[in-house]
């Protein structure tokens, strides 16, 4: 088992929300079910939090994974 470092990069913090909005069917449905004020608040919060990961004009969000392999006895 080992940790695999990965980084999700965006040119702007607002693009993370757009990725969520265009992502999985379940996430799309959940976001589209929100009222306009709630959706705007979510968009603002995601953008603000993503902005904390800005590095030299690029938003770099760490998203490490664990890789594991096994052999069936």
Domain-located, residue 53: yes
Domain-located, residue 50: yes
Question: Phi and psi dihedrals of 61, rounded to 5?
Answer: -100, 120
Mean pLDDT along residues 56-62: 94
Q: In this structure, how many other beta carbons lie within 10 angstroms of the beta carbon of residue 14? A: 16
Domain-located, residue 41: yes
Domain-located, residue 43: yes
Tally the domains of the chain. 1
**CA–CA separation, 70 and 7 (whole Å):** 26
Banded model confidence at residue 23, pLDDT cuts 50, 70, 90 = confident
Answer for the pair 20, 31: CB distance below 8 angstroms, yes or no.
yes
> What 3-state class would DSSP assign to 49?
helix
Domain-located, residue 18: yes
Q: Which domain holds residue 58?
A: 2-67
Domain-located, residue 72: no
Q: In this structure, how many other beta carbons lie within 10 angstroms of the beta carbon of residue 50? A: 21
Q: What is the pLDDT of residue 59?
A: 95
């Amino acid at each position: 088992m080992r940790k695999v470092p990965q980084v999700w990069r965006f040119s702007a913090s607002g693009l993370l929300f757009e990725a969520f909005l265009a992502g999985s069917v379940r996430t799309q449905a959940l976001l589209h079910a929100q009222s306009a004020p709630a959706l705007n608040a979510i968009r603002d919060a995601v953008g603000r939090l993503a902005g904390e990961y800005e590095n030299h004009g690029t938003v770099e969000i760490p998203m490490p994974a664990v890789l594991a392999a096994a052999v069936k006895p």
